[in-house]
Amino acid sequence: MRQFDYTAVPKGLLTQETMNLLAAVHECRGRQESDLSVGRDVLDALVEVARVQSAGASNRIEGIRTSDARLRGIMQERTDPRSRDEEEIAGYRDVLATIHEGHDYIEPTPGVILQLHRDMYRHTPLSGGGRFKDSDNEIVGIRADGSRYVRFRPVPAVATPDAVERLCAALREGLSRGGADPLLVSMEFVLDFTCVHPFGDGNGRMSRLLTLLLLYRCGYLVGKYVSVEKEIERTKGDYYDALAESSAGWAEGTNDPGPFVRYMLGVVLACYRDLGCRVGAVRSARLTKSERVEAALRSSVGKVTKADLLEACPGVSRTTVERALAALLARGAIEKAGGGRSTGYVWRG
């Protein structure tokens, strides 16, 4: 039976690389209050963009998709779900909102995890929401020739409730005793939760929601303003490689959590640096909103879409972005690339 203990730092995390990443994240957290002292309009814009990106990215990782326009409508509760995929996106939206608004009062316990999973499926007709798996599941890999193989066998269904109970108890003890850094403890927990794989469906999305919850409870608020899930999606290959490496030997307790934990520290660090760049751009120059759009285009490499510009310029409306693009096109500073939904703009100077 796999045991869980987060009261000491595993040997695999006692590396210079891990400590350097942890120190860099701590430094970013130290600047968090300053970063978040920009105007409320900027923060509100960052939150709105991050929410949409988080729900879209976390679901796309699992093959759950809709159009960008419908995604925004669902996230703003202006659009009713029309498909199974959209029902699941709406559920993710609801759980994300619960975590954003109440993280200080949400302790990860088996009951809470079941409730969050139930809410993630509240818009679907499926009956598995809020229930641990009732049959064994397997993590399947695909070889280069297309053949499938069992890469990992999670905890059997019959042992899952007890495993989750012990996992949550170990998390409480690890965080309360203070023998290891709370961020390391949290990422170890996420790895073990993923390896337990307690549900018949939705384990990946639940692991990412729990990641956000634990980050917030440890004081790392970056995921509210820059999408952690989008950064994971952007580096999805590394994400799965780190999971595979850190899950080898997991059932026997011989696995090394280092690859996964270091990957996640890198994700958090990338999000903090992104946040710093965005708020820094707002502070450092007294630019008009149109000038901010131009500055974002000047500093970009390759094609930039309207969505990219809205993300890079928090607080700037779509109408302002479109006016700025029209003016830049008229004076020949940019050129249009592609058409339709893939339309982008390239800086010519």
Burial of 98 (0-12, 13-18, 19+ CB in 10 A): middle
Binding residues: 201-208, 239-240
Buried b (16+ CB within 10 A) or exposed e, 225-238: bbbbbbbbbebeee
Residues 76/60/35/179 CA torsion (nearest 10 deg): 120
Binding residues for ATP: 201-208, 239-240
User: Which residues, including other chains, have CB under 8 Å from residue 121's CB and lie 6 or more apart?
Assistant: 88, 91, 128, 129, 130, 202
Q: Which of 100, 103, 123, 197 is catalytic?
A: 197
Could you give the CA distance from residue 261 to residue 79 in angstroms, rounded to a whole number? 37
26 is catalytic: no
Could you give the CA distance from residue 236 to residue 242 in angstroms, rounded to a whole number? 10
Could you give the CA distance from residue 281 to residue 74 in angstroms, rounded to a whole number? 30
Buried b (16+ CB within 10 A) or exposed e, 19-39: eebbebbeebbeebeebbebe
Residue given tokens 């996992």 in the structure block: 167
Q: Are 57 and 233 in contact (CB under 8 A)?
A: yes
Tell me how long the chain is. 349
Q: Are 92 and 177 in contact (CB under 8 A)?
A: no
Encoded tokens for 108:
């990860």
Encoded tokens for 150:
């069992």
Could you give the CA distance from residue 202 to residue 120 in angstroms, rounded to a whole number? 8
End-to-end Cα, the chain, rounded Å: 63
Active site residues: 197
